[in-house]
Structures are given as C-alpha cells and as structure tokens.
Structure 1
C-alpha cells in the first residue's frame, strides 16, 4: 500500500513537521505568534498553521502559544476505502519509534466515510492495529487509558483519506489550568487570547488598561494579564501528550520551563490596569476564583455592578474595552439588547476616547447599534456559534455624527425611566409588607408608551399593546425601544432579563400555541404558594397578576371546602385553595398545554393527585354532565373562544347566563361562586342579579399595582338566595 503525501517518519527529533490547530479566524494571529517565538517555517491552512521545526521549537509552541488548540504531529496519510486498509495503514507505522508496549494509549477518531461509518469503530480498529503490532514484536500489548494516556493518537478521516497523528498537546491547550472544571462555560481561553491579540493587546501594547464591562468568569481579563506579565500559558498545565513520547527530552523541557519562569514580568513593574464588572453574582464569584487560581489576585479588579453605573478608574488611557455581550435568542430578546449595545457604544465614547472597543457578537444587527464605525471584523466560532469580533476605534473619525451629543438615555427613554422609578417608589412599601415579588409596575401610564411591564422576581416582562393603524409603525417601534432602554437603568434589572412581546387579539388555538421554544421556566411565590411561570414560550406567562387578590380571597375561604376551578388555566387558584385547606380541588380546562401545567403546579406544591385532580374538558360540556356538588367555585372564562376542542363558539357576554346557571347548579346551598372575566364592556345580566345574591367585588379584587386599570377584570360573588 502506498502512502499519499505522507509526512516523513520522525527518526530525527530535529526535523519535525507539526500541525497547530486554532479557532477559525485566528490563523494569522497564530502564525504571527509563532514567528515572534522564532518559529518562522510556517504555512497557513484552515483553522491551522503547519510548522516545520525541531524538538525545542515544538516545546516552545506548546509552552508559549496562547492561540493554538492542539499541537499535532502527523505520522502518515493513507487511503481508507475499507476497514482493512485502515488496519494496514496503522500497522505500517513504526510504532516502536514512538512508544513501548508498556505505554498507555488513547485513540481519538474524527470523521467517517463509506468504509468507516462510525468513529468508535475507527478508533477500535486503530487500537487493534497498534496492539497487534506490539504483540508481534514483544508478545505484549499496550493498555488503553482514555483520561490521561502516555500517548494520545488522533485519527482523522476525510473522504477516502486518513491521517494518523500524535497529539503532542495531549488535551486542548485552551485549558490553562486556572479555570474550574464544571463551572460556567464562557469564552475559551485561546479564543479570548487570540481576540485580545487581534485588538492589539501585547506586553508592549499602546493600551494602558483593559476594561471588560460584562466580564463573566473573567477570561478576557485573565488572558490579558497573562500576556502583560509574560506568563507562558502552558506553564500551569500538568499533563502533556509529549511526556509519554519516546523522543521526549525531559531535561530540555525543564530548561524551557525554567527559562519561561525567569522571563515573567514582576507585578510591581506592571504599568497597565485590569478592571471588570458583571451584574451576576455567580459570574463574579467564578471570576474571582479564576483570578485567584491564576495567581493574579490584586492585579485584576472585578466588581458585581452594572457597567453603566460603576465608577471605573479611567485615569490610565488609552483603554481597550473587550466585551462578549449576550447575543439574544429571539426577536424579543434582540429588542431588549438593542438598548444594551447602544449604551455600550455611548459608554465607550464617553470614557475611552482614543481607545478601542472590541466586541464579539453573533448578531450583525446588534453590532450596528454601536454608534461607532467598525474598522474591521473577524469571523470566529464561539461554542459552535458563528460570530464576528468587531473593532470599534473610539476616534472622532469613526464616531457617527451626533453620537457624542446623544450619550445616555434619550429624552423619551428618560421620561419612561422617571415614571417607572416613581411607580416603584409608590409600590415599594406595599410590596415589602405583602412579600410580593411578581407585580405590574407600568400599564400604559403614558398613552404614547402603550405597554404593560410586569416584574417576575428579577425579570421584566414587557407586553406591547397593538398600536392603532393611525400610529406610524417606525414611531411605535422607536417608542418600544425607548421603553426597553429605560427598564434596566430604572428598575436595576439586567438587560438580558427583559422579555418583550407584542400583544394582539388571540382566539381559539392561537391562545395556546407556542411563540418560542426556549423553555424559559422559573418558579415564583405568592402567599406561600409556588408557581411555574414561563416568560418567553407563550403569549401569557402562566400567572395572571391582576387576579392576585381573587386568589387570596379563595385561599382565605377555602378551609374544608370542595373547590371547583373552571377554565382553570394553570390552576393557580386551585393551589391557593389547597394552601387554604380545601378538602378537595378539581380543575377543568380544555387545553392540553395548560392542564399539564396545572398538574405540575399542583405537584410543585406537594398536593396529592387523589384530592387535587385536573381534568381536560370543555367546561360547558363538563358542567352539563356533572353530578357532584361544590362549596366554592371559581370561574374566569375567556372573552371569546372558537377552539376546535369545543362545540360552537364561546362569547362570554352572550353565553354567561347559561354558563353561570350550570355552575350554580353544582354549588351547595351555602356555597359561593366567584365569577370573573376581562371583557371591558361586560355587563352582568339582570336576571342573574334578580335570581341570586350577587355582590360586585371588582374594586376589592384590585391591588395597588392595578389601580390605574380599573377594568383589567370584573369580579362578582354569587350565592343562592
């Protein structure tokens, strides 16, 4: 069998052909880095640089490369059109030149073809060929160690060709040894270092400080400090693939390690500053631990704070701002992030004059929000997601016209922010007293800003009311943007925790259809009850905030009763009844989505399925067939429904008499029916008022956060006379 373009078998460690892989887009940076190490015999490839060097050069590349992912030494390339050719190609390599039978090995196989259809099969076939090679020579076979083998061997299959290499790095070189395993999964260290170098950061760069306003676990900051201190990125790593290689020169490696330690710059001689902030406590905790593990405590300063309000020290200029902001998963997320990106650009203009902003994002639209013209951008992959790193020079020649005058919130956004802060101040004492964490903070208070803003713990849920046709679409979009811009500053909520939805009339199946698939669930509490809410996936969140007093009324009156919840939605009222001591609860709704959600809410509060049942049915039909009696009934039907799951169409104004009559037939003689709906022009029929003891409790069923919207719902209590 003939090798195809096979690398020369390595008999002389002074003549080594290597392939250094790296993140896509950083090939030039890796090559430049190698040249600065004196390793100039290079050739660029896609996501790799080929290097011809000696043993010392190979060690230097491993020890000093900040950008490389792996250092591979190809042994042979051969045709693989069947399994036997793979076996033979591996067997033809002189393995005794690289290892002994008592070495442990691990095989990594990447790629398949028509002959090798499974990477695991390719790895096993390669292992068998190496084992058989040594059995023939020595009568012994090497063992497999997948975690930390003496020699890691890589098989790469592409179409009908296979390349077999020694992985001299042993594991990905982005693992420097300072980041906790299993912690947050941020930017990989070598990608962060490459982007820093792309921005011009070096141990002798013009920049006097690095600032990361959304530092996460601190990767940009740590990598920049390692560069400035001239600390070799491989100096902390304990495991290397070449240590089990037969040609490894331990003495030479140790000499290079010692030399690297001597070339470090003392922290006392540093003339650059490193500052970072992040809103998330978890992120800052991870950053501080990584900084400590990297030996950089006291060199890098990180704070849990929003960058917009943090008091950075800008005395060291020019500054390089490196940031990997959130990209957004859906259109509503992007709307919320537009404000963040604009603020980032404004903030950079205000504080980093003559410096540079380097921003990594997957969204070209978001990058356009920066009020600075980018100099260039670099395509990279971040966690498999295609992104671009944009360089924004903070120079007059690049700043868009008028941007310096527009720094901060626009007048409209500031007006919204002022109203939000005023509303929150008014509600704060009541919220604290009632221990309420989910509430409405704004409901079209200013008609031109026609949105409702609800708070769920530390998230803001923004519902845009559909603008009249007379309102210009671009104007409506601008107003929505101003609202979203105001929320993080006014309410101290991270930009990533703002969810935006546009409201419109929904009917039938549309009421229950998903609008997203992010499965964004969280648990919130209300009067000792826990509920699952979902802020993104559906038009509604799973908790009607305006019904909070109604649910509390049910909880207060539920002790020992048999409770029926019609049109139950997610059964929040049933949970309150159970918490109030109801003997039994029965929740009825015709939606699969909401009855399943109801069961999960009931289970979350640890109520037994035997006493707290959920039924999927058309409430009209269920009532017509029902025989049991209940002491407390709650009914909050939709205004209109034409679901295929029900016969005919429900119109609450037209049908409420029949509906209430059916429900009253199931009510015990001393029981109560709580009837509510949100049709603004609804009028309770006179015949019901005459037939039953009716009390309008609408005013009592509205908490302070809904005082502005007196017609958000109407509510009555009906009893038998």
Structure 2
C-alpha cells in the first residue's frame, strides 16, 4: 500500500474525506493540511480519474524526517534514491511548503532540495537532470510540518479540479471542485429526479458538475496531463487500461441518463459560453440554458425542487446596487413562487443574505479563490412565509431617506431649469443616520458612503447603506446598472487619488457651456469637483482677455471654463501625467486648440520656485495634505499656505489677482502674515457655494488674494 495526501480548498476537506472512502481508499484521515489515505497503485489511478473534490493528489516517497536547519533538509533529501523516481533525461521541479525558524522562505527550501536531487544523480555518475519550473516531466513537493519534512511526488499533477470543458468562464468563475461541493451540500443529489434551477448560471459550471455527478461520470477521463507520467514506477499499461474502461463507462452512463436541469442568466454572451462549456462536456442534452433575470424567475414545475446559484459578490464585478435590488426581490419571489423548494447560494458578501429575509437552516464556510464565502441553505416552507422579521427594505414606503431625497428634488427643480447643468449633488448626509452623499452625473448616480464613526453599530450602518442603495435609484429614476457606490473614508496625501477599479469607462457631462469628461468607476474622485462649480464660474468671469494660470489643475476643468470665457492664454500645471492628459481631453471636447493653451507636468511648488512668467489671474487649489514621492517635501495647506501664496503671487502681474481655494475644514487664514508680505485676502466662500452645497458650508473655502 502506498501513502497519499489529497489537497483541496478550504471547506471541502470533510467532503473529500467522505469521497475517498467511497472510492475505496484506506486509512482515511482528515487533517488541516489535507486528507491522508492509503491505496494500491491501481486504486490511486482510479481515484485520480474519479475524484471531484481533490485539487491535487500527492504520493509520499519518504517518511517524515525531523529537521532543524538547511543541512538537515539537504541530508533528508539526499537520503532518497531519486533515480528510482525519474531518469536524468526528464526535467523536474520542486515545490516547498511550510517553514520553521531556520527555513522561512519557500524558494530557499525548494532550492536546497533541488541541489540535493541534482547531487544525488551526480554521486551515482549520472547526467545532471534539468530543472523546468513551469512544465516539468515530473514534479516533487517537500512539505515541512511541525519541524518534520516529508517528500512527495506530485502524483495527479496540478489543478486536478480542471475538467477540461471550460474554454471560457463568466465574470465570477467558480472552481469545479467547489461547484461539486456546493451540489453535494445543496442536497439535490439525494433525489436527482427533483427539478434543479440555477437562476444566475454564468458559464454553467454548477449545472455541468451537477449533471456529471448525477450521471456518475468520471471527470478525469478527458484530462490531458498527469503528474505520474514522468515517474519511473508509473504503470502505463495499467493506467491506460483503466482510462479506457472509465471512458467506456462514461459513455454508457450518458446513454442511460435522462435528467434535465435548467440555467438562466441575463447576459446572452455568458449564456453562449455556458452552452459551449456544456457541449465540451458532452452534456448539452441535459442542460437547458435560457435568458432571463433572476428576479423574474417563474416556477413551471409541479414538483418541488432545488435552486442553486453563485451570484456576483459585489467585490470584483457586478454592481452593489444591482445586488441589493436583486437580493431584496429574490427573497419575496422565493416565498411567492417556490413554496416547498430548497434554496442554496454562496456569497462572500454575507450582508446581502440578510436582504432575503429568510432563515437559513445551515451555513457552510468555503473559500472561492481568495474570498472567504458562506454557503447558505434555506427551505421555503410555510414557516418562512409566516415568520415576521423586520420589514423588508422594499416595504418601507415611508423611508426617511427616500422622503428627504424627494424633498431635495422638489427644492432644486427650479434651479435646474434655470441652469444648464446635469451634474450636481442631491443629498449630503442631510439625515445623520444616512451618512452618504448622492451625486447625479447626467443619467448616472454616485453614492459616496462616509466612513461611519466607531460609535455607530456596523450592522446598523450597513443596513442604512442598503436602504440608500435600494431607494436612491428608484426615487431618482436611475437604472441600477448606472449606480456607483464608493466608500469615502478620510484620506491622506495621494490616497484620495488611488485607483479603485479598472473599468476604464468615462462619461461626458455638461456644466453650463462646457463639456467635461468624468470617470465614476476607477477613482474615489470622479475628475470633477462638483462643489467648485461656482468657483469655476467666478474664475471664468474674471478670465476674458487675461493670461490665466491654473495650479494643481487636476483634470483642468477650471482651465476649460477660463478658455471658453475668452482668456487670452491658459497655462495648466499638474504633477500627474494622467490628469494632465485628462485636461487635454477636456480641451479637445470643447474644441479648444492652439498654442495659447499650455499643459505642463511638474511639481507645482517646484515649478513656481523657478517660474519667471507673470499672469493676470492665477487659480490655485492645492491638496489639504500631500506626501507624494514626486514632491520634494510633504505639503500641509494650513502649515504651508503663506509660503505657497507668497510664492504664487510672484507669478501674478501688477494689478492681477490670485484665487485660492482648499477643502480643509476649519482652515484659518493668517492675515497678519499675509499683510507682512504686502498682501491682503478677501473670503469668497459664501459666494462659491452653489445651491446643492448650501447644506455643507465647510466643504471648501475660497479667497481672493491681491497686493495691498
């Protein structure tokens, strides 16, 4: 009997142990690192062909050997007769797992074992075998656990869960062995004659695994690579005989199978992928894929059955607003149309489960890739319908947030008619319990969640946010796929500009006679500071026929308004190449071209120190704080504002003016220090707050700086 270790993903270990027992493995022992078992070579081949839950099967080629340091590891590896396991003509690779006080790096451990293997061949007068990291003929693994190392042959080869039928996946791929575990945990296999529906089927993995398991197919039959193929003791004749036998059995089982399952998805492209994957798995006849949204799912079956799905999690894909809406509606739909059915789903966004307003009778923890997930099981019985939990979001017609939003719309109605603006703020934490800002960008909606204080219960804050996400698009008549949700915690330095996603989508909005590009998806800020709308108009009114300088220009919206107002020349300076290119795009959108518009990429303060040009109007909107690596020193607007203004005024021509703004709450202008430099300041903050920011008088402050 040989000793093996089967590896799998977190949460699947117990199921794998049960599966190995069913596959006639002996001495099955589940441990945190995997499942140990004993088997003959023949049955080990069959286990590799038949397992659905293992991600890898390793064959032990040594007993555990205590080690303390590198020399112990080298000696333990040298004690193995490696030519008994592969020939010098074969390439090999070594993986190292684990650490102790002396061996803390996996590469260091793997290199030590590799050296021992190579030296073993040389000591026996053989040619040195080649190392191949990516596609070796044979792969070994050294596992260091509790200061003892055990050496294994990678018997099955990597990614045993890959069945070979997936040419493509949907946006939220799930590994086949996790899909198989979900099918088992759902309970459908206990009665495969019951209907099975996946209302968000994506690329079809759950349904393909379900049919394959129900038919009793061996998933490894079509696998192209096996780790044992380069092993000296591999019995190719035996394995090929078993492979042929399992292949024939699969064909017979497919012939005998008369089960049908059903998958729905709202994305036709994803459904096309699902159909291709099912065809590759030779299971097209057993799965019916149809277009349809989960919220519109109907029940055409007379018998009760199972609903099993893997919805988007709202982390890497999909839209949180769509998820909130979907989960809220699904909970009601299940109770209305699927009485007596069993529902099972997996998610890493555990808070979404509360929106179903259902009581789960079992939950299992899994990992889907790097994400910690829970699989929740529900039985839609009469008790689920009769239980009276807190009212569903969708039933709160008198929701305070929704009512305030309606009131704000009414208040701003006449203002919107008078102004040629389609981007504005409609709500800004008006009600403390709903601590968010809601901005309109043409037909899109951006919800900024302010980080709740520690005194606020996290669960309650999450529920409030879900209400905002549910009601805002409905009250404002915006489709959920055009809603963007962002968390706007207090930021320092360049963090406020760091990318959130990689959507690389843009939208063109209108502000009076200017067209401006915004990106609602990739950054915390969108590329247009809405609270500076009147500030931009103020600069524009002062710009006609003048030379204008815009410092810390960001995406150049102030420069665009100045140019459209008839500025003689506009110079735009910013440290970021990305934002400077964005500014150029904004100029191009408005047909502003020519040599009188200059764009300079530079540290604004360093540029000012060397500048010898003068301008009639200078606009400067520095960050509250910056520690950018591209700046010589850190910058703090309260600490450094006098030095900055004095330096900037050197660029102001006689009779000229400097407009200075910043967003530091409770900013204090040092009038005495200004006067000492022959300068005076007049506050413009009240003049530069438009109607949609009157509720937040401290959002920014503005000043006119001139010479005395």
Post-superposition CA distance 1:602-652 (Å, at most 9, x none): 36669999922367779xxx89x997244x87789999x9733324999xx
The alignment status of 1:665 with 2:667, answered yes or no, reads no
The alignment status of 1:524 with 2:506, answered yes or no, reads yes
- Tell me the distance in 2 between the aligned counterparts of 1:638 and 1:547: 14
Distance 1:100 1:629, change over 3 A: closer
Name the Cα RMSD after superposition.
5.7
Distance 1:134 1:357, change over 3 A: same
Q: TM-score, normalised by structure 2?
A: 0.71
- Tell me the distance in 1 between the aligned counterparts of 2:428 and 2:169: 44
Aligned to 1:484: 469
- Tell me the distance in 1 between the aligned counterparts of 2:435 and 2:69: 67
Q: SS state of the match for residue 460, structure 1? A: strand
CA contact (8 A) 2:46 2:242 kept: yes
The alignment status of 1:266 with 2:254, answered yes or no, reads yes
Pick from 527, 530, 549 the counterpart of residue 542 of structure 1: 527
Distance 1:577 1:358, change over 3 A: farther
Q: CA deviation at 1:155?
A: 0.9
Instruction: Report matched runs for 1:139-288 at 5 Å.
Output: 139-180=126-167, 186-202=173-189, 204-205=191-192, 207-213=194-200, 215-264=201-250, 265-266=253-254, 269-277=257-265, 287=274
CA contact (8 A) 1:207 1:355 kept: no
Aligned to 1:376: 362
Distance 1:564 1:198, change over 3 A: same
CA contact (8 A) 2:448 2:485 kept: no
Instruction: Report matched runs for 1:52-91 at 5 Å.
Output: 52-76=38-62, 77-91=64-78
Post-superposition CA distance 1:522-560 (Å, at most 9, x none): 5524366544556763xx543135777997999999999
- Tell me the distance in 2 between the aligned counterparts of 1:137 and 1:200: 56
Note the residue ranges of structure 1 that are not aligned, 5 or more in a row.
1-14, 651-658, 668-672, 679-697, 716-721
Instruction: Report matched runs for 1:568-647 at 5 Å.
Output: 568=553, 570-575=555-560, 584-587=569-572, 598-599=579-580, 601-602=582-583, 611-613=598-600, 628-630=614-616, 643-647=638-642
Q: SS state of the match for residue 184, structure 2? A: helix
CA contact (8 A) 1:314 1:351 kept: no
- 194-203 vs 259-268, greater mean Cα deviation: 259-268
Note the residue ranges of structure 2 that are not aligned, 5 or more in a row.
509-513, 589-594, 625-635, 664-686, 703-708
CA contact (8 A) 1:101 1:142 kept: yes
The alignment status of 1:27 with 2:17, answered yes or no, reads no
Aligned to 1:653: none
- Tell me the distance in 2 between the aligned counterparts of 1:541 and 1:30: 48
Q: SS state of the match for residue 24, structure 1? A: coil
Distance 1:371 1:212, change over 3 A: same
Q: CA deviation at 1:370?
A: 3.5
CA contact (8 A) 1:551 1:573 kept: yes
Q: CA deviation at 1:171?
A: 0.9
CA contact (8 A) 2:275 2:289 kept: yes
- Tell me the distance in 2 between the aligned counterparts of 1:576 and 1:394: 59
Q: CA deviation at 1:152?
A: 1.2
Distance 1:83 1:617, change over 3 A: closer
- 57-66 vs 76-85, greater mean Cα deviation: 76-85
CA contact (8 A) 1:204 1:228 kept: no
Aligned residue-pair number:
637
Instruction: Report matched runs for 1:270-349 at 5 Å.
Output: 270-277=258-265, 287=274, 289-297=276-284, 299-301=286-288, 306-309=293-296, 317-326=304-313, 340-349=326-335
Q: CA deviation at 1:158?
A: 2.8
CA contact (8 A) 1:558 1:581 kept: yes
The alignment status of 1:460 with 2:450, answered yes or no, reads no
Q: CA deviation at 1:109?
A: 1.4
